[in-house]
Structure 1
Amino acid sequence: MSKIVILGAGHAGGSAAGFLKQYGFEGEIVLAGAEQIPPYQRPPLSKAWLKGETNENALQLRSSEFYAENNIDLRLGIAATAIDRTAKMVAFDDGTVEPYDYLVIATGSRARKLPLPGGDDDLLLELRTIPDAERLKQALGGGKRLAVIGGGYVGLEAAASARALGAEAVVIERMDRVLQRVASSTLSEFFTRRHTREGVIIRTGAEVVAVSGHSVTFADGEVLEAHAVLVGIGATANDELALQCGLECAEGIVVDLDARTSDTAIFAIGDVTRRPLPHYDVMHRLESVPNALEQAKRVACAITGRPAPQDEVPWFWSDQYDCKLQIAGLPFGASAQVVRGDSDTGSFAVFHLKDDRIVCVEAVNAAHSFMFGKQAIAKSSRVDAATLADESIPIKETLL
């Protein structure tokens, strides 16, 4: 009977184990993770956890009994140190060695470090795990100041939570606008206004030259003192094990649509992978829960012989204050943008078009536009840009 070893007990790894059992896999599964906590949801860490609205038990993907009842050997607090592809063995840092018939690498990603003086200060905060979130939570509250380096989604969500707890929040972004790497200028401007209205101080075009756990030094010599400094400047794939054993990598483990690596006995899923995106004909590394779940399903299907699931459109979300942002697709090759709705009302959508086809939609408090855009991307539907911008015309009537 086959044995599967899963390296990484995060959302991707935990979901893969669950889908394997759901799809009828009867062999042994070893699920090993470096954290001491069973697989859990991470998106609430920057929101509900910081505000004290959830706890460790509520975030767990499965009950503690699930693993034992389903012949899943859950090993926490250990990390793999080497993969021997010829012998099909994995070595761990506790001295144990496990054979495998199939190996699933779900080692995720880690926060990027600031390449600056003080960037290795142990007091600097990041937000990837429950212990990270708890450290940040303890640093927030009335009369305290949080400095956030990086104006991405995690940084903005943390700033919103800090304000909800009565702390001052300063977001520092070296580019010209927040979310510049990942969103349209319309979306950036909307969230800048929204955060400013809530009292967040946003500093763009700000060059940081040194940091510590309690201060940020700018190029002009100014020093910003803070009770805590959170660094949120992106993430790096944890692909070292794959590189060491000779798997193909390109800033992430290269996989096919079924999440299979260059070794047919080894799969990789989640943030650690560079995968094909069928709707765009490109290879890309995604960091999202939907991507982790899709790849976990694909691995489970490939191993158990089930038909592969339908190709999914990448999608993402972020909750800040009373704003629910939903994004479908990626703006690869987009040549035009169409705004439907009014950002001043707090309900609008930005459609990114390549010729007359939607390739991405960013929707704020506009679930109908999000779903329309997601379906249009999946079907490669053509739309009329002029009518798409006109809210008086039902959105389905914008299709050509």
Structure 2
Amino acid sequence: MLGLDFALEQDKKDVLKPYKDQFYIPKDKHGNNLIYMTGNSLGLQPKSTKHYINQELTDWAALGVEGHFEAKNPWLPYHEFLTESMAKVVGAKPIEVVVMNTLTTNLHLMMVSFYKPTKTRYKILIESDAFPSDKYAVESQLRHHGFDHNEGLILWQPRDNEELLRYEDLEAILDTQGDEIALIMIGGINYYTGQYFNLKRITELGHKHGCKVGFDCAHGAGNVKLNLHDSGADFAVWCTYKYLNSGPGSLAGCFVHERHAHNKDLNRFTGWWSHNKATRFTMRDEFDQLPGAEGWQLSNPPILSMAAIKASLDIFHEVGIDALVEKSKQLTGYFEFLLKELGDDIIRIITPKHPEERGCQLSIQVKNADKTLHHKLTEAGVITDWREPDVIRCAPVPLYNSFEDVYVLVEKLKTILNE
């Protein structure tokens, strides 16, 4: 009923269809496009990226150090060229956002400021299946402050035989241990299940109990409407190489709510790029804190990486997060429908059913399957993502995936299952 003809008809009506041609699609050994469903792990390269980076290489070759002032896009303020577009992507004010460092580095910098343990309030609450880097980071912060991480780490866990987390269980933890918790640090979208948490609800709950609240939005930025400012969160961090298509290991983003923008009493690590821009190069002045998220910078920015981010953000600025999310819901809804057609006795989707509680990723379990199924999908020209012990993550990204892609993926999966 909703087969290939339907998919092709939806693609014809898709106003974002032309954007697929702005990305390089990986090909198989025969030169055919692969079905790429792992934008949740590494986004595809915009065709414009090479031009953006080459511009900086050209200016570097021609200008040398003078490129800091005379390049087409002067390097000295280059990070500022990204701020407005990035703020729109994550739903923040420009003063609240900066692109700098990498994700876990930014998380540590945020915890320097917002994790302020005392003898009686020192614990950190995270989701039980947080991304490993987040767990390692918060454990190390506990140890750094002289606490036992086994005792100081509180896990928000799903109930028996469930994968998704319940807010009433978080409320129960805070009702009983809230006065011992200094920081709540949750992944905005859980990397494994794809569950998109209600950031505002968690923040209000945490603040009610006197906790600071932060989010790792690596799987949310460029995927869902994060509305970070309205959430009231104290801070958030995210990478740019997944849905934001900036290239492997590229720079990350950081959000600090504007209520902290002018608070110079916040403990923080500093460097010369968090110093007053007007006097930064006089070199011998006492430290003068920049307001806003920029005040957490340490070093001058790596321009080539920022050029790649700019290439992608210019596409996001043109498309707008509203249009992306609208198509995402349609595309993922179609994907969910086709998977369910295979039968609940074969396929189990562990991602929330409600479109407002997920992004474009669906995490699926196939009965009696192991990683062999993932390998067979790869051999069939479908690039998905395997996560132990038994989940295949698939993310139909609205910028470069089509309804036909989704249909073909499910057909190939069906063929493998029928072998």
- Structure richer in helix, relative to its length: 2
Normalised by the size of structure 2, how large is the TM-score?
A: 0.30
Normalised by the size of structure 1, how large is the TM-score?
A: 0.31
- Structure richer in strand, relative to its length: 1
